[in-house]
Chains A and B, each alone.
Chain A
Amino acid sequence: MLPFGELLVELAGLVPERAGSLAEGVALHVSSLHLTLPIESRIGPAGELSASLPRGRLATGFDPPLTAVTLRFEVEQ
């Protein structure tokens, strides 16, 4: 598991902010990113929240219950 903040940074880094270019004839810029995904989360001994993506497609009885997180990022200059 990662500290929750680090997981957010990792998730934001997965998406490119732009694609194409004027030389290629078209350029796209991402203006916002909405994510809704299941995560495993745990509150640590110092109160910090740790989280990770689910371990696999099938949950077992040994896994903690999954929760959901919804994020909205916007691109800023």
Chain B
Amino acid sequence: MTGARSGRAYPVDEFLQALTAQLDRAQDALALKVRGTDRPLTWALKDLAIDLRVFIEITEEGRVTWRSAGPGEDAASTVHLSLTSITRPMVEENSFKVERDQDSRGLEQIAQVASLDADDQRKLSWMGVRTIGQLRKLDPIAVEAIAGIPISRLQAALEAASHPAVTAQEVVERAGRTLLAIHGANLADGTAPEVRLAGTPVEVLEFRPARLLVRPGAQHSEGQIEVLTRGRRATGFFHLPEKVEREGHKNGVNGASVNGAGKEAQP
């Protein structure tokens, strides 16, 4: 199956995504042609089958790649792809709703703490588990049986996933006041957490597990964010626009709205 490495090998999953995007654009172009010519009918591509002559390779990381056969490369494999059109309800029924994910952090964010190595993450990805929210829904016993990831590692991952974490901050202008939105995970659990900016407690206006909204004091410009919830502590870093800029915001001046380069707080 493996041929000469004369061309660029491309990951199969990314190729299929690129092909799907091309077919979407083709369908749009067919519809556009009709609208442009006032014809009442249009072609819709229902089924497609294509044979690709490729060399299939597996990288050291376990990714399957393929590259097109060139002139004279008769030993290439033939991959037969069949695609059929699907309707929007079918897509919605079978796809994962990212916006409903309770914790959309990627698995890599807890991998180090949870001792999930790259092999474990790849196995979980094959099972369709890419976020911590999805990981939490798994039964560790079933995962060990199916993917061979030890229960102890999964339990450690779930434990790490339950810790509060600050991932980002955002300046919010509301009714002429500069507020700070703190994004993360497990930041609240039914009761308002204690939040300190640069060591000073601040008022928590809104609290959800993935987002807090707090009111910074007049003295706050930058410093450490501390969130204390359920006896656990998460930290990050905040930076607010200068006072003059804050006034500028109120007057409609286009100031820094999302913390510039420092918006990604380090937990």
Contact = CB atoms under 8 A, between A and B. Distances in A.
Contact of A76 (B25, B41, B72): B41
A26 B30 CA distance: 27
A72 B46 contact: yes
A28 interface: no
Nearest to A4: B22
Nearest to A73: B43
B10 interface: yes
B174 interface: no
B221 to A, nearest CB: 43
Contacts of B93: none
Contacts of B66: 43
A61 B71 contact: yes
Contact of A64 (B24, B39, B71): B71
B45 interface: yes
A25 interface: no
Interface in B29-76: 29-30, 33, 39-54, 66-74, 76
Given A5-B23, A5-B24, A45-B8, 6 more contacts: A18-B41, A49-B15, A67-B51, A67-B78, A69-B50, A70-B50
19 contacts: A4-B19, A5-B25, A12-B43, A12-B45, A13-B33, A17-B39, A18-B41, A41-B53, A42-B68, A43-B54, A43-B66, A43-B67, A47-B15, A49-B18, A49-B19, A64-B53, A65-B74, A75-B43, A76-B44
